[in-house]
């Protein structure tokens, strides 16, 4: 499907969504739009966004794109409006549609486009009014060979799931808003209020959305919650190499580290690895040379380790670089930067909503050089 | 579908336009080919009455289109369904129609009438969608119809339809570019639109159709700046990039002085010795030139743009952030560009495509403005998981950022990269080290040693790249590096990469005098392997041989001849040519010799060292963030970013005694006086352009109350914050100051209102236009409010009990929010905030869309500059609620100093006030420099009388007696009420309280707009909606006693009219009648 002029969208090989650009225009504009399209397909419509899925649902895709673009210029890109215009296909609805002959296309006109709060549907009703906020922080870090931190920063987001009736007006305040160095908002957040009072004041979209993403200022030292001890050596003469890594908790504020996964891209010369983990499971793909070790929880009394040997290509010289170790982990109930939500107030509606907040720390791009 | 190469084959295969009509004739359908038969079932389905069958057929057809199959023969069957009731069928028919209409023009005409009917539909959404499809049908014959439809839609009441009209403009333009002139008219009209919905789309159309007509922007410039934050993201991007171009043509370069200094400083700092000497020289010259230049003062409009785009750096959309970043890069003074770094670094966390584009731009910026990204050096460190092109771009940035202080860390980081498994990346790293070495003299030796060590690396690519870089480095200072050349010579035995071998040979040849013993030996070895070498190596062997022959012919004569003979019979003609050429040059023959005498000069001429520089060096001549910049090539449709205008408008004109006048006259040339932004100073009291927006009122007080509820708890904190802010602002540049003045003078005012609600509740009424008004002015009001609030610390904010707040989270370590700094109410009301709060926070009924007074009375003189010995004082009634006391009228006082000496200690002295009148002073103005002006806000409670408030205005040396007498219209504030409420209240105020007067409306003021404008200019009243067209109703309350003032104007045919005022305060009523009649009949 090709749109005249600015944005050409091609739904085909190589990636599900690729584009052709013929005309001068800001590239990020186009990329940003494609990401929106992808997000809508992925989360609102099909659950996955892949070539076969798009081929199967080509009519819905056409319908959605028709609403999203007019002559190559974005029209309705808010998920609320789109979902109202074209209902996402579900099995149930497909069945009902075939029986009753009704359609996916909502018979409503896009009234949302006329509103000053285009991100929110009108006439939302819930029997249980709830608002959940997840504060998720990711640690991006590069740790060098000796275990010292080369660079570490915290990037956080607040994802919200708000199911509230009517037009609630929420304010969310933090105990320590000064921590937030650089923030970007969902368009619903009133910027001036944040500037002057450091309070997030907004009329939320309905459903799931990302309220805020932030960066914790670099001045604050980042507590690195895990350490990795490693001993990886290749010997020139023999065709065997030693491999040993241990993962342990460092500054975790008393919380357990879960969901630990270690992955490492081994050098080309490594033919196979025979390793024994003290816990969890590991795999090594001899084709891609990717080692991955699913550790699970770290028990501070008994540190998980992975030991063994690597068989190297005979005759080949030893690789000049040791592999980099990538780490994934999760810590529940902890925001590593110390960010705390102070309170959440609601105005504009009379009911008492159910509310919840959750903190989580995750590894972002967490690398250990060896 | 001109841009659909994928379908072109199919198209070619199908019959040409016109012809297929035979084929489509159902009767003859079967005769032609099985191709047509194939779709018979689909046709049948389309012809049935069942929507489900039709839908099924349409789905199959769209799927066919998607697969690139030709479905054009179904056109007649499909087009019949254009009026189908089922929405999904309809939409799919639209898809089909838009795709094939161009091929089947005649048949497509059948559908046009359906859309024409749609254009007249009472529902705005149907009108919009009809226009959208109609304009997408590419049939030249309907161009006039489209033109008409667009023109009509452009003046539609619904902003959504107007938006669609804006979208249709480029479509029509691409279909028929002859329509350009007419389309520009429509664009001009739509540019004047004040709704955020339209702004983005019309600017897009402008960019597409007539980007060169920059003059159309002048009068809309400020409006666009102010609307920007509320426009949707896509529109923001387009507007920002257009405004960047605009600003480049209209304002002076803010860096004109700095750039000179900066260049010299950099040269002197990083350049090598010779350059330093040169730099110092030019620095002197520059220093001499500097005083000659006039100091740069930023145009207030330039400042406005920078200020209004800054918050958008916080947008979630990468495209918006990038657009703002490029705007700042191209337009902001050097000191301010830094703010974008943080936001750009944030984008690096995004998807890799975004990263790629952002890094490209950062790379370009980091060359010009290194300091900006230096604090974020570590954010550009490379992870092994980054894709190669990202790695290389990050490397580029790191190299650009490297300087004397951070080079050790950068080099250490580079060291780890060299061991990476990604060889392309390693090669790029080595290049980067080379560049660091050339740029930073101090580390040159370190780098060189490091590179030499790399020569023993096992990977050939690494070695080869190092050799190439070493070659370039050595060329800069060859004398000291005999050792390294020897080391390189040894490597010729091992290195196989041609480029590296060639580089080594070149080096040895070039510096053969430094290695007199080794060079001939190398040549000997190369001669042996000559035939097996790559071409590039062979050429260098010849080169080496020639150079050696010239310097050391005794040892190498035979070798050289041998090599040349081998080359003579080489397969490659380049090599044969080179050999012949070289032989003629160096071996003296009988005939020639003129050249050979100079052979040494030719071959061994000193060569300038290569400059290792970034490939991003001159990329900034493309507008950052554009496709052309990304590709480093001009894309079609790229608009050059114009250079700053050369001629400097004389900045001293701004310093004359009535600055706003000169500014006005300056501006008038550009602005065509459409928008009296600065209200006239001589009391002409230009009613500002928009008479119809809302009286400020509920929504405003709402926002106040809500903020009070939010803040209530801590007022001390807020005071502090206030002062901080105050100081900050005061420090602001002079230009900012004067600009603020200008803005303050604009006596416009508006009130956010529940727009969405309004337009949906009484759709199609003139609500849309009023809502647009409010939106468009909302920004500026906030500014005013903001300013008003910082000028004086609010007298102890009322600690209103937090009304109906529901605490969602009660956290264990709950802190009383004294931690949370709370600022004065005014700041809170962002336009949107106020909008929404108006919607949601009130218990009272929703505010109907009302029209509001926009302008107060114009500027009036308080103290003439002659009487005031150089101090001129004017005042205006700002019509904003005075934040300290709701009973007070807020008065903006403008001071300007036209004397030669600073005026110090401006404050209010003792006042002799009539009973009941009270004054809230403004904070003392410490000093007012000559030529400067300042504004303060004071509140006066006139106690519902028009008695003058007399007070003293004191400076350190003098006291002036002045008095302010309010027009009666300023003693009230607008009230919102419905028609019924109005009638009810009016019923209560009959008899004595009613004053009626007859008048004749002059011809000039018979339109609604003008009448409303005149009344609201005279009195601060709010308009009340009214069922009958010839009646105008306004309502307000006096400030002190809060008594209602109701005004009704009943216009009869032929200009006769009757004015009725109902008010408890009869005096006020009588005076009001008099004033209004005077205003109307003038």
Q: Residues A324-333: pLDDT tens digits?
A: 889 999 998 8
**A146: pLDDT strictly greater than 50:** yes
Cβ contact, residue pair B354, A28, below 8 Å: yes
Residue of B nearest to A356 (CA): B809
Tell me how far the alpha carbon of residue A56 is from its chain's centroid.
Answer: 26
**In sequence order, which residues have a C-beta less than 8 Å from that of residue A56 and are 6 or more positions away?**
none
Q: Which band of pLDDT confidence, cut at 50, 70 and 90, is reported for residue A54?
A: confident
Q: Which band of pLDDT confidence, cut at 50, 70 and 90, is reported for residue B570?
A: confident
Asked if residue B968 lies in contact with residue B1065, where contact means CB atoms within 8 angstroms, the answer is no
Asked if residue B433 lies in contact with residue B411, where contact means CB atoms within 8 angstroms, the answer is yes
Of A90-94, A341-345, B15-19, B1068-1072, minimum mean pLDDT range: B15-19
Is A169 an interface residue toward B (CB < 8 Å)? yes
A-chain CB neighbours of B91 within 8 Å are 63, 66, 105
Edge-to-edge strand order for the sheet containing A169-174?
A: A199-202, A169-174, A341-347, B806-807
pTM: 0.63
Q: What residues does each domain of chain B span? A: 40-249, 860-966, 970-1081
Helices (H), B192-255: 196-209, 221-227, 233-250
Q: Which band of pLDDT confidence, cut at 50, 70 and 90, is reported for residue A159?
A: very high
pLDDT, position B43: 81
Average pLDDT over chain B, rounded to whole? 71
Q: At what angle do helices B535-551 and B553-568 cross, to 10 degrees?
A: 150
Cβ contact, residue pair A24, B164, below 8 Å: no
pLDDT, position A123: 76
- Which helix (H) or strand (E) segment is B410 a member of? helix B407-418
B-chain CB neighbours of A59 within 8 Å are 59, 62-63, 92
Cβ contact, residue pair A343, B810, below 8 Å: yes
pLDDT, position A103: 57
Cβ contact, residue pair A109, B126, below 8 Å: yes
CA dihedral A68, A70, A74, A78 (to 10 degrees): -30
Asked if residue B369 lies in contact with residue B624, where contact means CB atoms within 8 angstroms, the answer is no
B-chain CB neighbours of A365 within 8 Å are 383, 385
Q: Which residue has the higher pLDDT, B824 or B593?
A: B593
Tell me how far the alpha carbon of residue A357 is from its chain's centroid.
Answer: 18
**B660: pLDDT strictly greater than 80:** no
3-class DSSP state of B838: helix
Is A236 an interface residue toward B (CB < 8 Å)? no
Highest mean pLDDT among B48-52, B506-510, B683-687, B695-699: B506-510
Of B233, B319, B827, the CB nearest to A192: B827
- Which helix (H) or strand (E) segment is A93 a member of? helix A91-100
The CATH topology of domain A130-222+334-368 is: Immunoglobulin-like (2.60.40)
Residue of A nearest to B835 (CA): A116
Distance of alpha carbon A305 from alpha carbon B532, whole angstroms: 53
Asked if residue A232 lies in contact with residue A244, where contact means CB atoms within 8 angstroms, the answer is yes
Is A319 an interface residue toward B (CB < 8 Å)? yes
Cβ contact, residue pair B458, A320, below 8 Å: yes
For chain B, helix (H) and strand (E) counts, in that order, are: 48, 16
pLDDT, position B434: 86
pLDDT, position B825: 41
Q: Residues B856-906: pLDDT tens digits?
A: 456 777 777 777 777 888 888 878 777 767 778 888 888 888 777 777 777
Shortest CA gap A278–chain B (Å): 27
| B 717-746: CB under 8 A from A | 721
Of A112-116, A172-176, A344-348, B130-134, minimum mean pLDDT range: A112-116
**A272: pLDDT strictly greater than 70:** yes
Q: Which band of pLDDT confidence, cut at 50, 70 and 90, is reported for residue B664?
A: very low
What are the residues facing A162 on neighbouring strands?
Answer: A131, A207
A-chain CB neighbours of B94 within 8 Å are 66
Q: Residues B330-384: pLDDT tens digits?
A: 888 888 888 888 888 888 888 888 888 899 888 888 888 878 888 888 888 888 8
Is A357 an interface residue toward B (CB < 8 Å)? yes
Is A111 an interface residue toward B (CB < 8 Å)? yes
Of A112-116, B371-375, B1055-1059, minimum mean pLDDT range: A112-116
B-chain CB neighbours of A346 within 8 Å are 805-806, 808
Q: Considering Cα of B382, then B386, then B388, then B389, what sign does the dihedral take?
A: negative
Cβ contact, residue pair A191, B830, below 8 Å: yes
**B761: pLDDT strictly greater than 80:** no
**B225: pLDDT strictly greater than 80:** yes
Cβ contact, residue pair B91, A105, below 8 Å: yes
CA nearest to B654, candidates B246, B255, B300: B300
Q: What is the CA radius of gyration of chain B?
A: 39
End-to-end C-alpha distance for chain A, whole angstroms: 48
Q: The domain B860-966: what is its CATH number?
A: 2.60.40.1150
pLDDT, position A359: 92
In CATH, the architecture of B970-1081 is 2-Layer Sandwich (3.30)
Residue of B nearest to A346 (CA): B806
Q: Considering Cα of B323, then B326, then B331, then B333, what sign does the dihedral take?
A: positive
Asked if residue B765 lies in contact with residue B851, where contact means CB atoms within 8 angstroms, the answer is no
pLDDT above 90: percentage of residues in chain B = 1
A-chain CB neighbours of B136 within 8 Å are 71
Q: Which two tokens stand for residue B471?
A: 């070659």
pLDDT, position B854: 43
Please count the residue pairs, one from chain A and one from chain B, whose beta carbons lie less than 8 angstroms apart.
318
CA nearest to B92, candidates B65, B114, B72: B65
Of A50-59, A150-159, B254-263, minimum mean pLDDT range: B254-263
Can you tell me the mean pLDDT for A135-150?
Answer: 88
CA nearest to B165, candidates B189, B194, B138: B189
Q: Which two tokens stand for residue B138?
A: 């590419």
The CATH topology of domain A226-332 is: Immunoglobulin-like (2.60.40)
Q: Which band of pLDDT confidence, cut at 50, 70 and 90, is reported for residue A217?
A: low
Q: What residues does each domain of chain A span? A: 27-100, 130-222+334-368, 226-332
pLDDT, position A101: 54
Q: Residues B418-446: pLDDT tens digits?
A: 888 788 888 888 888 888 888 887 888 88
| A 262-301: CB under 8 A from B | 265, 267-268
Cβ contact, residue pair B237, A26, below 8 Å: yes
Can you tell me the mean pLDDT for B252-276?
Answer: 49
Q: Which band of pLDDT confidence, cut at 50, 70 and 90, is reported for residue A64?
A: confident
**In sequence order, which residues have a C-beta less than 8 Å from that of residue B362 and are 6 or more positions away?**
B344, B373, B397
Cβ contact, residue pair B346, A185, below 8 Å: no
**B696: pLDDT strictly greater than 70:** no
Q: Name residue, tokens 């925001």.
A: A335
**A136: pLDDT strictly greater than 90:** yes
Of A2-16, A148-162, B162-176, minimum mean pLDDT range: A2-16
Q: Was domain B40-249 assigned CATH 3.40.50.1370?
A: no
pLDDT, position A320: 65
Cβ contact, residue pair A101, B52, below 8 Å: yes
Of A184-198, A272-286, B655-669, B1066-1080, minimum mean pLDDT range: B655-669
**A135: pLDDT strictly greater than 90:** yes
Q: Which two tokens stand for residue A126?
A: 């819930």
Helices (H), B552-598: 553-568, 573-586
pLDDT, position A360: 92
Distance of alpha carbon B723 from alpha carbon B716, whole angstroms: 11
Cβ contact, residue pair A169, B159, below 8 Å: no
**B1051: pLDDT strictly greater than 50:** yes
Is A5 an interface residue toward B (CB < 8 Å)? yes
Distance of alpha carbon A340 from alpha carbon A346, whole angstroms: 18
Q: Which band of pLDDT confidence, cut at 50, 70 and 90, is reported for residue B751?
A: very low
Q: Which two tokens stand for residue B283?
A: 């620095």
Residue of A nearest to B752 (CA): A116
A-chain CB neighbours of B383 within 8 Å are 142, 324, 365, 367
pLDDT, position B881: 73
Q: Residues B603-632: pLDDT tens digits?
A: 777 777 666 677 777 777 788 878 888 877
Kindly tell me the burial class for residue B34, based on how many C-beta atoms sit within 10 Å of its own C-beta (0-12, 13-18, 19 or more): exposed
Cβ contact, residue pair B62, A59, below 8 Å: yes
Q: Which band of pLDDT confidence, cut at 50, 70 and 90, is reported for residue B295?
A: low
Residues B105-118: b if buried by 16+ CB within 10 A, e if exposed? bebbbebbebbeeb
Q: Which two tokens stand for residue B177?
A: 């570019």
pLDDT, position A132: 93
Can you tell me the mean pLDDT for B117-121?
Answer: 84
Shortest CA gap B894–chain A (Å): 26
**A337: pLDDT strictly greater than 70:** yes
Cβ contact, residue pair A28, B759, below 8 Å: no
Distance of alpha carbon B660 from alpha carbon B676, whole angstroms: 11
Q: Which residue has the higher pLDDT, B651 or B998?
A: B998
Q: At what angle do helices B518-529 and B482-491 cross, to 10 degrees?
A: 20
Of A8, A113, A320, the CB nearest to B419: A320
Can you tell me the mean pLDDT for B962-983?
Answer: 81
**B795: pLDDT strictly greater than 70:** no
**B599: pLDDT strictly greater than 80:** no
Cβ contact, residue pair A199, B820, below 8 Å: yes
3-class DSSP state of B875: strand
Of B141-155, B297-311, B449-463, minimum mean pLDDT range: B449-463
Q: Residues B68-85: pLDDT tens digits?
A: 788 778 888 888 887 777
Integer angstrom CA distances of residue B643 from B218, B332, B650, B818, B1072:
18, 14, 19, 51, 55
A-chain CB neighbours of B63 within 8 Å are 58-59
Shortest CA gap A307–chain B (Å): 23
pLDDT, position A261: 92
Cβ contact, residue pair B321, A22, below 8 Å: no
Of B391-400, B819-828, B930-939, minimum mean pLDDT range: B819-828
Is B167 an interface residue toward A (CB < 8 Å)? yes
Of B309-313, B383-387, B899-903, minimum mean pLDDT range: B899-903
Residues B863-890: b if buried by 16+ CB within 10 A, e if exposed? bebeebebbbbbbbbbbbbbbbbebbbb
pLDDT, position B782: 45
| B 784-823: CB under 8 A from A | 804-811, 813-815, 817, 819-823
Distance of alpha carbon B842 from alpha carbon B853, whole angstroms: 22
């Amino acid at each position: 499907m090709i749109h005249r002029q600015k944005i050409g969208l091609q739904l085909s090989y190589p990636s599900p969504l690729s584009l052709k650009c013929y005309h001068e225009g800001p590239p990020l504009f186009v990329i940003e739009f494609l990401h929106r399209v992808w997000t809508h397909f992925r989360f609102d419509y099909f659950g996955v966004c892949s070539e076969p899925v798009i081929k199967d649902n080509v009519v819905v895709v056409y319908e959605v794109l028709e609403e999203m673009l007019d002559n190559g210029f974005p029209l309705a890109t808010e998920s609320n409006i789109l979902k109202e215009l074209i209902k996402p296909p579900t099995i149930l609805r497909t069945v009902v549609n075939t029986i009753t002959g009704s359609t996916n296309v909502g018979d409503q006109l896009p009234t949302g486009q006329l509103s000053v709060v285009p991100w929110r549907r009108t006439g939302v009703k819930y029997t249980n009014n709830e608002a959940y906020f997840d504060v998720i922080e990711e640690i991006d870090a590069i740790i060098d060979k000796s275990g010292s931190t080369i660079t570490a920063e915290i990037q956080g987001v607040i994802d919200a799931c708000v199911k509230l009736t009517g037009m609630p007006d929420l304010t969310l305040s933090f105990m320590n808003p000064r921590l937030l160095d650089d923030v970007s908002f969902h368009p619903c957040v009133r910027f001036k209020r944040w500037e002057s009072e450091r309070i997030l004041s907004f009329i939320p979209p309905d459903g799931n959305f990302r309220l805020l993403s932030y960066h914790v200022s670099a001045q604050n030292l980042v507590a690195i919650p895990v350490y990795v001890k490693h001993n990886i050596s290749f010997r020139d003469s023999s065709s065997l190499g030693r491999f040993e890594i241990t993962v342990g908790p460092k500054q975790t504020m008393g919380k357990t580290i879960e969901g630990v996964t270690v992955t490492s891209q081994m050098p080309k010369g490594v033919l196979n690895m025979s390793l024994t983990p003290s816990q969890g499971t590991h795999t090594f793909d001899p084709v891609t040379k990717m080692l991955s070790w699913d550790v699970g929880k770290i028990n501070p009394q008994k540190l998980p380790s992975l030991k063994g040997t690597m068989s190297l290509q005979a005759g080949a010289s030893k690789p000049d670089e040791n592999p980099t170790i990538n780490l994934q982990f999760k810590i529940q109930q902890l925001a590593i930067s110390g960010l705390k939500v102070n309170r959440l107030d609601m105005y504009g509606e009379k009911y008492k909503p159910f509310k919840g907040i959750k903190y989580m720390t995750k590894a972002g791009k967490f690398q250990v050089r060896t | 579908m001109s841009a659909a190469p994928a379908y072109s084959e199919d198209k070619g295969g199908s019959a040409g336009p016109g012809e297929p009509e035979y084929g489509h004739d159902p009767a003859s359908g079967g005769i032609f080919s099985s191709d047509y038969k194939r779709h018979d079932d689909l046709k049948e389905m389309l012809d049935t009455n069942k929507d489900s069958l039709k839908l099924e057929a349409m789905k199959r057809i769209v799927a066919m289109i998607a697969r690139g199959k030709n479905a054009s023969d179904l056109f007649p069957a499909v087009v019949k369904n254009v009026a189908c009731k089922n929405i999904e069928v309809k939409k799919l028919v639209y898809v089909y129609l838009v795709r094939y209409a161009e091929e089947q023009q005649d048949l497509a005409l059948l559908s046009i009438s359906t859309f024409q009917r749609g254009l007249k539909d009472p529902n705005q959404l149907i009108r919009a969608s009809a226009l959208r499809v109609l304009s997408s049908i590419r049939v030249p014959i309907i161009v006039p119809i489209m033109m008409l439809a667009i023109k009509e839609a452009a003046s539609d009441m619904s902003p959504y339809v107007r938006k669609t009209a804006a979208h249709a403009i480029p479509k029509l333009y691409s279909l028929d570019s002859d329509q350009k002139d007419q389309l520009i008219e429509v664009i001009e009209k739509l540019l004047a639109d004040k709704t955020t919905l339209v702004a983005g789309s019309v600017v897009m159309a402008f960019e597409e159709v007539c980007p060169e007509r920059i003059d159309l922007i002048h009068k809309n410039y400020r409006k666009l700046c102010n609307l920007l934050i509320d426009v949707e993201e896509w529109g923001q991007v387009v507007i920002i990039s257009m405004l960047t171009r605009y600003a480049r043509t209209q304002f002076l370069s803010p860096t004109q002085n700095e750039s000179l200094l900066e260049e010299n400083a950099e040269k002197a700092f990083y350049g090598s010795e010779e350059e330093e000497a040169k730099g110092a020289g030019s620095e002197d010259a520059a220093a001499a030139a500097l005083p000659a230049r006039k100091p740069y003062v930023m145009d207030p409009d330039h400042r406005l743009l920078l200020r209004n785009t800054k918050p958008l750096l916080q947008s979630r959309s990468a495209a918006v952030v990038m657009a703002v970043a490029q705007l700042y890069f191209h337009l902001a003074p050097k000191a301010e560009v830094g703010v974008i770094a943080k936001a750009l670094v944030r984008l690096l966390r995004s998807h890799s495509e975004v990263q790629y584009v952002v890094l490209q731009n950062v790379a370009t910026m980091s060359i010009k403005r290194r300091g900006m990204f230096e604090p974020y050096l570590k954010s550009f460190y490379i992870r092994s998981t980054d894709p190669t092109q990202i790695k290389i771009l990050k490397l580029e940035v790191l190299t650009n950022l490297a300087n004397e202080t951070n080079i050790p860390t950068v080099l250490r980081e580079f060291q780890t990269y060299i061991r990476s498994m990604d060889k392309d990346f390693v090669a790029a790293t080595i290049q980067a080290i080379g560049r660091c070495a050339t740029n930073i003299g101090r580390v040159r030796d370190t780098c060189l040693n490091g590179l030499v060590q790399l020569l023993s690396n096992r990977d050939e690519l690494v070695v080869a790249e190092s050799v190439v870089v070493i070659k370039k480095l050595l060329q800069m200072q060859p004398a000291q590096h005999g050792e390294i050349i020897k080391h390189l010579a040894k490597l010729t035995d091992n290195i196989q990469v041609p480029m590296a071998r060639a580089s080594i040979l070149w080096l040895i040849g070039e510096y053969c005098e430094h290695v007199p013993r080794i060079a001939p030996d190398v040549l000997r070895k190369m001669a042996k392997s000559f035939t097996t070498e790559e071409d590039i190596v062979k050429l260098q062997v010849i080169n080496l041989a020639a150079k050696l022959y010239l310097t050391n012919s005794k040892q190498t004569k035979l070798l050289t001849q041998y090599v040349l003979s081998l080359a003579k019979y080489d397969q490659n003609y380049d090599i044969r040519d080179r050999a012949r050429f070289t032989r003629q040059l160096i071996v003296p023959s009988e005939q020639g010799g003129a050249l050979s005498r100079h052979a040494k000069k030719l071959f061994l001429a000193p060569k300038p060292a290569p400059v290792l520089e970034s490939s991003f060096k001159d990329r900034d001549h493309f507008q950052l963030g554009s496709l052309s910049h990304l590709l480093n090539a001009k894309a079609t449709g790229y608009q050059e970013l114009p250079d700053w205008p050369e001629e400097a408008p004389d900045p001293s004109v701004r310093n004359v005694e009535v600055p706003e006048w000169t500014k006005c006259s300056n501006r008038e040339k550009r602005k065509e006086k459409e928008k009296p932004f600065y209200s006239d100073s001589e009391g002409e009291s230009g009613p500002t352009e928009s008479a119809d927006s809302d009286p400020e009122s509920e929504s405003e007080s709402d926002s106040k109350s809500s903020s009070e509820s939010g803040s209530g708890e801590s007022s001390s904190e807020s005071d502090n914050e206030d002062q901080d802010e105050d100081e900050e602002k005061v420090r602001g540049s002079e230009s900012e100051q004067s600009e603020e003045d200008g803005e303050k003078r604009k006596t416009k005012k508006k009130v956010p209102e529940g727009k969405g609600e309004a337009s949906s509740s009484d759709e199609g009424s003139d609500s849309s236009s009023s809502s647009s008004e409010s939106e468009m002015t909302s920004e500026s009001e906030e500014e005013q409010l903001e300013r008003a609030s910082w000028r004086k610390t609010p007298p102890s904010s009322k600690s209103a009990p937090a009304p109906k707040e529901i605490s969602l989270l009660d956290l264990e370590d709950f802190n009383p929010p004294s931690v949370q700094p709370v600022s004065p109410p005014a700041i809170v009301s962002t336009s949107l905030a106020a909008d929404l709060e108006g919607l949601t926070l009130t218990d009272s009924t929703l505010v109907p869309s009302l029209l509001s007074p926009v302008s107060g009375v114009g500027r009036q003189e308080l103290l003439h500059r002659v009487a005031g010995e150089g101090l001129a004082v004017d005042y205006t009634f700002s019509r904003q609620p005075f934040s300290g006391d709701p009973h007070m009228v807020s008065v903006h006082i403008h001071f300007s100093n036209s004397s030669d000496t600073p005026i110090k200690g401006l404050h209010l002295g003792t006042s002799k006030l009539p009973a009941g009148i009270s004054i809230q002073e403004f904070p003392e103005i410490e000093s007012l420099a000559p030529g400067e002006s300042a504004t303060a806000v004071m509140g006066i409670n006139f106690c519902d009388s028009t008695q003058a408030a007399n007070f003293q205005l004191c400076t350190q040396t003098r006291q002036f007696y002045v008095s302010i007498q309010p027009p009666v219209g300023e003693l009230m504030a607008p009230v919102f009420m419905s028609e019924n409420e109005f009638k009810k209240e009016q019923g209560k105020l009959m008899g004595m309280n009613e004053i009626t007067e007859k008048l004749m409306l002059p011809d000039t003021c018979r339109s609604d707009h003008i009448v409303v404008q005149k009344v609201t200019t005279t009195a601060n009243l709010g308009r009340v909606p009214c069922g009958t067209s010839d009646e105008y109703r306004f309502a307000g309350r006096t400030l002190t006693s809060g008594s209602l003032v109701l005004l009704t104007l009943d216009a009869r045919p032929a200009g006769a009219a009757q004015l009725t005022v109902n008010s408890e305060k009869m005096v006020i009523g009588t005076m009001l009648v008099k004033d209004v009649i005077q205003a109307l009949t003038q």
